[in-house]
Amino acid sequence: MKFNILTLFPGFFNLLDDYGVIGRAIEKKVIEINKINIRDFSTDKHKRVDDELYGGGAGMLMTPQPLYDSIKSVKKEGVPVIYLSPQGRVLNQKLCNELSKLDEMTLLCGHYEGIDSRITDEFVDMEISIGDYCLSGGEIGALVLIDSVSRLVKGVLGNEESPITDSHYNFLLQHNIYTRPREFMGYKVPEVLFSGNHKLIEEWKEESALENTKKKRPDIYKIYLEKHGPNKGF
Ligand SMILES: C[S@@+](CC[C@H](N)C(=O)[O-])C[C@H]1O[C@@H](n2cnc3c(N)ncnc32)[C@H](O)[C@@H]1O
């Protein structure tokens, strides 16, 4: 999967190269990060990319020309231009799954007060937000999207790893998880996990997942109950 990243801070994305499974996927060429500096496209003699807002207002806005030309440099049929924006559809596992089916996408990172609305209206296919709060730039949002989408791409996680038991993949949160030692400061790992009885272990995992979801994310648990009825819950 290829990510074209349109940004004023291409160096920001270098950290992905050394970042666990994503770094390894970049090395194996399963994931490609194509960093494009929007400023390189500015035709302004001082390479300016921002200007004051028409109609007044605090701060500066990214001007349309460098944005348009940088988008044009990677524009291809079937490759959506996604603007990381607090006004976008909020990223969740369902959207990550949808995006993981793409071969390539372009991520546009805004700064200052954001980008000229003519770019958003005419040249952006989709706006995605990473949550209902305002960041100072789109780069952190792009990193979140790249990480959460890439781990769903075949070949990114190792053979022993799988995203399907992770929280949110199947809507619920994950069950409790434990490793050595069997007892830590008097706190014990549930006995059932040593029983060797796969059916019992699977039932325990399902119950633990439901319990976690009910306790930590009652909003998700409520939707789950509405879909599956009260009998499967507690
Ligand atoms: C200070 S924000 C601009 C916000 C804009 N004035 C507004 O109110 O919609 C600067 C940049 O940060 C990014 N950004 C801010 N919040 C974000 C969020 N929740 N998700 C993704 N990107 C975000 C966008 O790329 C945006 O252009």
pLDDT at 23 over 70: yes
9/38 Cα distance (integer angstroms)? 9
Closest C-alpha residue for ligand 1 atom 15: 135
Give yes or no: 132 in active site. no
pLDDT tens readout for residues 176-203 = 999 999 999 999 999 999 999 999 999 9
Give CATH 1.10.1270.20 domain extents, the chain. Answer: 171-232
Q: With a 6 A CB cut-off, is 10 part of the ligand 1 pocket?
A: no
CATH number for the segment(s) 2-150: 3.40.1280.10
Q: With a 6 A CB cut-off, is 42 part of the ligand 1 pocket?
A: no
User: Residue 174: helix, strand or coil by DSSP?
Assistant: coil
Determine the average pLDDT of the residues in 69-87.
98
pLDDT tens readout for residues 88-100 = 999 999 999 999 9
Top CATH class of 171-232 equals mainly alpha
Are the CB atoms for 108 and 122 separated by under 8 Å?
A: no
pLDDT at 106 over 50: yes
Using only C-alpha atoms, what is the Rg of the chain?
22
Closest C-alpha residue for ligand 1 atom 12: 137
pLDDT at 160 over 80: no
- Residue 234 pLDDT class (50, 70, 90 cuts): very low
Dihedral pair phi/psi, residue 120, rounded to 5°: -60, -45
Q: What is the residue type of 158?
A: G
CA of 54 to the centre of ligand 1 (A): 19
Closest C-alpha residue for ligand 1 atom 2: 136
Percent of the chain topping pLDDT 70? 98
Are the CB atoms for 134 and 190 separated by under 8 Å?
A: no
**Burial status of residue 161 (CB atoms within 10 A of its CB: 0-12, 13-18, 19 or more):** exposed
CA of 179 to the centre of ligand 1 (A): 40
**pTM of the complete model:** 0.96
Q: With a 6 A CB cut-off, is 58 part of the ligand 1 pocket?
A: no
pLDDT at 233 over 50: no
Average pLDDT, the chain: 96
Are the CB atoms for 126 and 83 separated by under 8 Å?
A: yes
130/55 Cα distance (integer angstroms)? 29
Give CATH 3.40.1280.10 domain extents, the chain. Answer: 2-150
- Residue 232 pLDDT class (50, 70, 90 cuts): low
pLDDT at 55 over 80: yes
